[in-house]
Amino acid sequence: MKVGPYEAKSILTGSFALDGGAMFGTVPKVLWNKTNPSDELNRIDMEARALLLISDKHKILVDVGLGDKLSEKYGEKFGQKFKEMYKWDQSKNTLTNSLKKHSLMLEDITDVILTHLHFDHAGGATTVENGELVPTFKNAKYYVQKKNLETAQNPNLREKASYFKENFEPLLENKVLNLLEGDVKNLLPQVSVFVTNGHTQAQQLVKIGEQNPLIYCGDIIPTSTHVRLPFVMGYDLDPLLVIKEKQQILEGIASENGFVFFEHDPYMDAAKIVKVGSDFNVSEKVMLN
C-alpha cells in the first residue's frame, strides 16, 4: 500500500498472548470471546506487528516487538519468562525474517520510531552482541517521547513489569535515542507524531501521509476489536482519557477516509473505519503485505 511517499508494509515480529480479561477491561468475556477466543489459561492471541515505511531515502520502522534477547544472562528474564508467561513465539516470524521478505537487513533501517517503551513495543530495539547489550539497528536514529523515557526510568508500581531498562539504556549509552517533547509535524517527510496519555504517560502515535492517511495506533487501539469505544484495556492508566483519544482519532480517520494500523491484532494489519451512531466499527479489512 502506498501512503504519501512510502510503500507501507506490515512486519510481523512474533506472536504472543495476554490475559483476555486484562486486554478488554470491563467488557464481559461473553462479548470479547466471540472475536478473540481465549485458551485454557484465558489468554488471547496477539501479534507484535511493526510498520515498515520504504522510500528512496528512508527505511522507517514503527515499533519493533518483543525482541530476541534470549541468550546468556538475558535469557532467563526475556527468554523463558516470555515464552511461558506470554507464549512468545518466533517460530513463524522474526523481525529479521520479515525484513528479508522486502530485501532489507537490520543495517538498512534509517529510523526507528518507538510509540512507547513497554517491552512488547521496544524489546526489539536492543540486542545482545558478544554478551553486551547494543542497539539492534546500527545505522538508525531512534525516537521516543522524553516524558515516556522518564516514566520508563522511574516506573510506577502498575507498569513496573512492562518497562525494562535493558530495552532503552543501551540506546542512551550509544547516543542514538532522540527525545521528542510533544507533537512533531513532519518528523520525517509526511510522518508526524502526536502524544496520547491515556494508556501510559506520553505514548506517541504516528500519522503517515496527507491524503487517505494511515495512523499507527499503538496501544490506544491495539486490535480491531478495540475500535469500539467502550472496549478499553485493563492495562490503561486512564481509561476515560483513552476513550476520548480514540474518539478523536477515529473521528478524524473516518472523515479523511484513512486507515488505522493495528499493532496487536492477530488477524488483520489495518482497516478502514465507519462511524455507527456515536460509536465506530471496522468497515474494510486491509492487509499490507
| Interface characters, 205-224, with Zn ion (x: CB under 5 A) | --------------x-----
Cβ-based nearer residue to Zn ion, 49 or 59: 49
Q: Which stretch binds Zn ion (CB under 5 A): 49-57, 95-103, 116-124, 137-145?
A: 116-124
Cβ-based nearer residue to Zn ion, 66 or 180: 66
269 lines the binding site for Zn ion (CB under 5 A): no
**Shortest distance, position 285 Cβ to Zn ion, whole Å:** 24
159 lines the binding site for Zn ion (CB under 5 A): no
Candidates 189, 188, 113, 192; CA nearest to 148 is 113
Cβ-based nearer residue to Zn ion, 127 or 151: 151
Contact 256, 275 (CB under 8 A): no
**C-alpha span between 208 and 2 (Å, rounded):** 10
Cβ-based nearer residue to Zn ion, 58 or 87: 87
What grid cell was written down for 139? 545505522
DSSP letters for 138-199: TT-EEEEEHHHHHHHHS--TTTTTT--GGGTHHHHHTT-EEEE-S-EEEEETTEEEEEE-SS
**Shortest distance, position 284 Cβ to Zn ion, whole Å:** 26
Amino acid identity, position 91 = S
Cβ-based nearer residue to Zn ion, 12 or 48: 48
Amino acid identity, position 191 = V
Cβ-based nearer residue to Zn ion, 87 or 102: 87
- By beta carbon distance, the residue nearest Zn ion is 118
- How many residues touch Zn ion under the rule CB under 5 A: the total is 2
**Shortest distance, position 98 Cβ to Zn ion, whole Å:** 21
**C-alpha span between 72 and 39 (Å, rounded):** 31
Cβ-based nearer residue to Zn ion, 48 or 106: 48
Cβ-based nearer residue to Zn ion, 18 or 106: 18
Angle of CA points 199, 289, 287, to nearest 5°: 60
**Distance between start and end Cα atoms, the chain:** 8
Q: What count of other Cβ atoms lies within 10 Å of the Cβ of residue 57?
A: 10
**Shortest distance, position 219 Cβ to Zn ion, whole Å:** 4
Cα distances (angstroms) measured from residue 13 to each of 97, 198, 251:
8, 25, 30
**C-alpha span between 267 and 282 (Å, rounded):** 13
Q: Rule CB under 5 A: which of 219-248 touch Zn ion?
A: 219
**Shortest distance, position 217 Cβ to Zn ion, whole Å:** 12
Q: Which stretch binds Zn ion (CB under 5 A): 8-16, 92-100, 110-118, 124-132?
A: 110-118
What grid cell was written down for 219? 496501544
118 lines the binding site for Zn ion (CB under 5 A): yes
**Shortest distance, position 85 Cβ to Zn ion, whole Å:** 16
Amino acid identity, position 44 = I
Amino acid identity, position 268 = M
What grid cell was written down for 44? 488471547
Contact 263, 216 (CB under 8 A): yes
**Shortest distance, position 118 Cβ to Zn ion, whole Å:** 4
**Shortest distance, position 65 Cβ to Zn ion, whole Å:** 12
Applying CB under 5 A, the residues found at the interface with Zn ion are 118, 219
